[in-house]
Amino acid sequence: MKLTALAPITLTLALGLALSGCATGQSVADGCAELETASQTVADGVTEATGDLTTDPDAAAAAISATAKDFESDVADIENTEVREAAAPVVDAISGFAVQIEAYAADPENADTEALTASSDEVDSSFTKIGDVCS
């Protein structure tokens, strides 16, 4: 499997962190600040885990699954409804990506790389939509 398909997710996660409007202040801004912190954590977790994907796919899959669950919990803790709802597609996309990584880990030789790439692309697009609220 070519792991170059995973590069866009790292880039998108990093770009998602550059949300200029996510600062302290009003209610939406506070929610965006919480989301920015959670996004940094998920970006770090995914980046670290995908680095282990070829050498230890099971550990990578477990780490990404844990990261996805932590992100889901962090988003659920955001009190601002608008921000939490904007982040819901990201939660779904990262959870879907974790499922694809688990499938890869279970059978790397026969993994559906197209599904993995599509899942990575979904994470990318879901993060860009957060900018509509946190900008």
Please state the domain extents for the chain.
3-15+22-130
Question: Each residue's pLDDT tens digit in the chain (135 positions)?
Answer: 455 555 555 545 444 444 444 444 468 999 999 999 999 998 888 888 888 888 898 999 999 999 999 999 999 999 999 999 999 999 999 999 999 999 999 998 898 989 989 998 998 888 888 888 988
The model's pTM:
0.75
Angle in degrees, CA 45, 106, 114, rounded to 5: 75
Nearest to 104 by CA among 53, 51, 43: 53
Angle between helices 27-51 and 7-16 in degrees, nearest 10: 160
User: Where do the H-state alpha helices sit in the chain?
Assistant: 7-16, 27-51, 57-76, 81-106, 113-130
| Cα separation, 94 vs 62, whole angstroms | 13
- How high is the pLDDT of residue 89? 95
| Cα separation, 55 vs 100, whole angstroms | 17
